[in-house]
Amino acid sequence: MNIPFFGDLPSDVLVAWIFSVILGIIVSIFIIKKKKLPVIWEYIRTTNHRKIGTMYILFGVLFFIRAGIDALFIRTQLALPNNEFWVFQYEKYNEVFTTHGTMMIFFAAMPLLLGLMNVVIPLQIGARDLAFPFLNAVGFWLFLAGAIFFNLAFFFNTTPDVGWTGYAPLSTSEYTPGPSTDYYVFGVQISGLGTIFTALNLIVTIVRHRAPGMKLTRMPLFSWAALITSFLILIAFTVLAIGLYLLMFDRLFGTGFFSGDEGSPVFWQHLFWIFGHPEVYILALPAFGMFSDIIPTFAKKRIFGYPAMVISLALIGFLGFTVWSHHMFTVGLGPMANTFFAITTMLIAVPTGIKVFNWLFTIRGGVLRMTVPMLFSLGFIPSFVMGGVTGVMLSVSAADFQFHDSHFVVAHFHYVILASTILGIFAGLYYWYPKITGYMLDEKLGKWHFWLFLIGYHLTFFPMHISGLQGMPRRVYTYGADEGLTTLNFLSTIGAFLMGVSMLFVVWNLYKTHTKKEKVGNDPWNGRTLEWTVASPSPEHTFDPMPVVKEMDPFWYAKQENRELETTTKTRAAPIAINTIIPILMAFSLFVVAVGLTFTWYWLAIAGGVLLFSLFIIRSLTDERKDHYGKGVETNE
Amino acid sequence: MNDYEIALFKDKQMGFFIYLGVEAIMFATLFATYFIFTPAVKGPHPSDIFEWKSLLLSSFFLLSSSGTLILAEKGFTQGDKRKFLIGLGLTFIFALVFLGLEFSEFYRYVQEGYGISANTFLSAFYVLVGLHAAHVLFGACWMIVLFILYRKKTSTALYTEKLKIFSYYWHFVDVIWIFIIVLVYVPYLM
Amino acid sequence: MKKLSILPIFLFLAGCNITVLDPKSSTGKEQSFLIWFSFGLMTIVVITVFILFAWFVFKYRYTKEKDDVIPKDVKGNLKLELTWTILPVLLLAVLAVPTIAITYDQSPVSDAKEELDGVPIDVKAEQFKWTFTHENGKEVTDELVIPETDAVIFHLKSADIIHSFWVPALAGKVDVFPDKELTYEIKNPEAGTYKGKCAEYCGLQHADMTFDVKVVSAEDYKKYIEEEE
Ligand code: HEA
Ligand code: HEA
Ligand code: CUA
Ligand SMILES: [Cu+2]
């Protein structure tokens, strides 16, 4: 269909426009009718960790649904051989899996995890907020700016189609001219920057803002996981940032790092996977942390082998940086490199196994309450092991010549990612929902969600192991009727729709919970850690007076012994909360830079840069510390 | 500084050190890129274009600016206003001179046909050294802000904090320059 | 467990003769051996975990009688901890041996033109077709004919971006690069007709970048390369 200004718009884009406009109108009417504008204005300027965490989660869920609907398009197109569903063949298929992968990883899984950390970590360690509330807001808005930038591509029908891995030379301007790939480059770059800041923030918070007496050896495991994950983020996302920086030069300024007769396509792969492999543990470790807190709560029993749990987290993190080339067994690095990376990859199974068995032995001897968060945690264990062992099979390098880039790999990574990250996020959301909103999600609907999702998940991804071995490459939009793939793919598609249906129960649950408006108390789950000592939802000013921590799971043992937690009025200097519009403007100015570079309107890029710089200056002249410093101290004159 | 300020400053200091760690990883990746692509299989060789003279000159200014910054910091803690202003002023001027020299070096290269797309060696050279130059430029602008803040009579504690953070940054940028001298230029000047 | 019991059904649905597990060359056979072998070891792991899991979850689930029970706090157990560190290491060591042996033998390498003995075939990949050049210079597009022989040596190079050469029924894949030539060896292919695919995403028609593979007897191959198009 031809539309002025936009040119030829394919029908899917048109539908998306119409849908978004209608949705936008409905949401606006709702906001105005319910007089929610002040709330939005408040959230835009907030630096409070719970509010920022809530926004992370809100947008994470939104993008999860968007990317999930993409997955349903993929599955519908693949349901039958030689299928022609709507527009999803050729480049549309390529666009849809690129969007699906990129959005799921960067704009759904990451913000959901960061959001949960934002909400929970300060409460768990007895801190009043993250160490740098302002920077926290900057991190969030950068994520959102990057995500919106990436999403815009679709509405202008210039969606990137290079895969979430963006392999060069395909991703250089010679083979994907026009702006499409730039949306990928800048979208990921901007949000990645935000992620780095948030990781930095979390590290300082965890290292320096723990409540008195909360030694590292008494810290809840989710906080431990957040700490180690943050270190992984610092290294991995920085390498990715440089990879994207070089790719930007290749695309816009005529360098040839990754293509031509001097450049090296494999170099991009190295940079990408030095990021990409640690990234999968960045996704998994926080989930491990959540399970390690949830399982003891509902088994009424402390975690088994706490030191081993911490050490294995650290080991996984460390080994995660030594295995990246297992994604590149077929690129001809030679037998030495292939065997080296095969062995290091296998080694990661050991610390992961330690965790699995420690979870199992936490369960052993406990009293298991089958609440929804617990169900998700229990569902995780066998599912994740199934995904983990196919990972070990992939690490057998010569066998990987067969597995690589086939649906076997697709099966592996969905198994591990959905089992750890996604089930973890669901578990965490149900578990901490009272701390975020003050309401408890409905348990019965939650169980529907759990069972449908779990069954759908196995039904979708189990057959993919076999279709991969049957010779189905990934990233192909169709297959022949004679290839023995029909039944397998059809089952996968049914499973995907089951997962979709299960998500509708989440929507229903949210609706129900928020119309019922039944407030819960501080401690609805009979919890063990400090977050359950503060009000639900967590107030802006917490831990005054500060709790004194004498052991692990202090709240639990205090309850057991029928005593109050000891407190002290000697609080440590808390970060200063403010309301400020600068973070969102900073993110916006980077957004402008990205638009300018993408369309080579350099004046606009420069304008964005100038705006950003002015904001830096305003920021340093209106530092919130100004009002708190130098009380009774002389100025420099 | 009182206890409260010290605690907040320690947060900031740690955060900034971590940030510098991030920068270090960035530069390390770019150094690796440079090693991989230099010398390139064809096109200009580094020894064709690097010169001792311009390297020594620009290094002289940038490296001494670390010294002048230390002078400024001393001046500030001693309450010696003149020493402080001269120190910071010199640092600022040296930074500008360095930028001028570097810009003219790049300009000369481009004039001679050694632009960013001439070959992979030059690409790797510009993305690395250029990013460093951008850091110097950023630092120069930062110093302007520091001057303004000084004029605005910021509280001593807050100003001390800001000055310290800046000096970490500036010394870091200098250290990166030393790495650039040793790893980028010197091997091809021998 | 429920999940495991559906496995045979899937195997049945897939017709039991899964392409990659029923390979037609000795290179592929080594690979499928590795797949089966690692699958076997991993089954041990999965079953162990499943049994412990089912047992513990069933035995320690909440029941009315346990309402007031506060379980004993157990901090850990070094012996158990060591057990589940050492046993996996041993298991992986068992897996590592054939992995290393076969990987050493099979890994694609660059610049090995002289060293390898066998029928050489030049493979050129480009968006979106394959060109195979035989020893005597005969060039064919999207159809690969090779003889039943000890070894076929593929020299792979791309004309534009990265592709990947894959004949699932014969052996694993090798990426095809624009900037370097890789050499890959397939040993003892068996006669038959197979499907070849591009396994590295390469743009618009990646899915269509397939080719036909025929393995014929040595004499037929001789005839084939002599005959004009
Ligand atoms: C959350 C994400 C996540 C996690 C946790 C993992 C975990 C692992 N992954 Fe996975 N992986 C991905 C996400 C993840 N992966 C993604 C996204 C890709 C594809 C990217 C792309 O190409 O697009 C990928 C691809 C991928 C490949 C490349 C395949 C290819 O492209 O050819 C390989 C190869 O070695 C691999 C291996 C492993 C291994 C060995 C583990 C191990 O960490 C697993 C360890 C766990 C267990 C083994 C189970 C529990 C252990 C025990 C019960 C103890 C006893 C066990 C033994 C003795 C074996 N993964
Ligand atoms: C966090 C990571 C993540 C997650 C959670 C998922 C989730 C899913 N993925 Fe994803 N996937 C990737 C990461 C992820 N994926 C990556 C990295 C790739 C590789 C991309 C590439 O090759 O570059 C990939 C590729 C990929 C492929 C392979 C494409 C190909 O190679 O040809 C397939 C195919 O089936 C697939 C399917 C699915 C399905 C069915 C889900 C399901 O679990 C999704 C479930 C969710 C929903 C179904 C949403 C439903 C919501 C609703 C219905 C809401 C109702 C509506 C309103 C309220 C308005 N994925
Ligand atoms: Cu060629 Cu895919
Ligand atoms: Cu990996």
Q: Are the CB atoms for C72 and A361 separated by under 8 Å?
A: no
CB of C200 within 6 A of ligand 3: the answer is: yes
- Quickly state the pLDDT bin for A244 (edges 50, 70, 90): very high
The full length of chain B comes to: 190
| Listed residue (A228, A170, A159) closest to A10, CA to CA | A159
| Listed residue (B75, B85, B95) closest to B141, CA to CA | B95
Residue with tokens 């638009």: A595
Q: How far is A632 from chain B (nearest CA, A)?
A: 10
Residue with tokens 């304008």: A607
> Does the pLDDT value for residue C12 go beyond 60?
no
CB of C155 within 6 A of ligand 3: the answer is: no
| Listed residue (A424, A329, A421) closest to A375, CA to CA | A424
Average pLDDT of the segment spanning B59-73? 94
* Cβ partners under 8 Å of residue A508, min gap 6: A445
Question: Quick check: C3 contacting A, CB < 8 Å?
Answer: yes
Alpha-carbon gap, residue A378 to A135, rounded angstroms: 36
Query: Under CATH, which number does the domain A37-476+485-580+622-628 receive?
Result: 1.20.210.10
Probe residue for ligand 2, chosen from A100, A165, A454, A458 as the CB with the greatest number of ligand atoms within 8 Å: A100
Residue C179 to residue A264, Cβ atoms within 8 A: yes
Strand C129-133 and strand C139-141: the pairing is antiparallel
Alpha-carbon gap, residue A356 to A364, rounded angstroms: 13
Q: Which two tokens stand for residue C102?
A: 């076969």
Q: Are the CB atoms for A460 and A495 separated by under 8 Å?
A: yes
Q: In chain B, pLDDT over 70 holds for what percent of residues?
A: 99
Domain with CATH 1.20.210.10 in chain A: 37-476+485-580+622-628
Among chain B residues, CA nearest to A609 = B138
The answer to whether residue B126 sits within a structural domain is: yes
The answer to whether residue B155 sits within a structural domain is: yes
Average pLDDT of the segment spanning A106-134? 95
Q: Which two tokens stand for residue C222?
A: 């001789």
Residue with tokens 């993008």: A63
Average pLDDT of the segment spanning B100-127? 92
The string of pLDDT tens digits covering residues C153-189 is 999 999 999 999 999 999 999 999 998 899 999 999 9
The string of pLDDT tens digits covering residues A587-629 is 999 999 999 999 989 999 999 999 999 999 999 888 777 777 7
Residue with tokens 């005969």: C138
Judged by phi (left if over 0) then psi (alpha if -120 to 50, else beta), residue A302 lies in beta
How much is the pTM?
A: 0.95
**Domain boundaries, position B159:** 51-188
The answer to whether residue B15 sits within a structural domain is: no
The answer to whether residue B151 sits within a structural domain is: yes
The answer to whether residue B31 sits within a structural domain is: no
Question: Quick check: B183 contacting A, CB < 8 Å?
Answer: no
The answer to whether residue B132 sits within a structural domain is: yes
| Listed residue (A243, A591, A192, A242) closest to B131, CA to CA | A242
| Listed residue (A429, A384, A537, A550) closest to A49, CA to CA | A537
CATH number where B55 lies = 1.20.120.80
Can you name the residues that pair with C171 across neighbouring β-strands? C167
The string of pLDDT tens digits covering residues C182-224 is 999 999 999 999 999 999 999 999 999 999 999 999 999 999 9
Q: How far is A204 from chain B (nearest CA, A)?
A: 6
The answer to whether residue B34 sits within a structural domain is: no
Question: Quick check: B110 contacting A, CB < 8 Å?
Answer: no
ipTM for the complex shown: 0.94
The string of pLDDT tens digits covering residues B128-167 is 999 999 999 999 999 999 999 998 877 888 888 899 999 9
Q: Are the CB atoms for A209 and A257 separated by under 8 Å?
A: no
Residue with tokens 């990612």: A417
Alpha-carbon gap, residue B37 to B118, rounded angstroms: 13
DSSP secondary structure, A374-433, as one string:
HHHHHHHHHHHHHHHHHHHHHHSHHHHHHHTTBHHHHHHHHHHIIIIIIHHHHHHHHHHH
The answer to whether residue B146 sits within a structural domain is: yes
Q: Which domains does chain C have, with CATH numbers?
A: 21-106 (1.10.287.90), 119-226 (2.60.40.420)
The string of pLDDT tens digits covering residues C45-70 is 999 999 999 999 999 999 888 888 88
| Listed residue (A354, A489, A502, A538) closest to A423, CA to CA | A502
Q: How many domains does chain B have?
A: 1
* Cα angle: A129, vertex A130, A134; to 5 degrees: 100
Which amino acid, residue C120?
Answer: P
Secondary structure class of C160 (helix, strand, coil): coil
| Listed residue (A241, A247, A621) closest to B19, CA to CA | A241
The string of pLDDT tens digits covering residues A46-59 is 999 999 999 999 99
Kindly report whether the peptide bond that precedes residue A537 is cis, defined as omega within 30 degrees of 0. Answer: yes
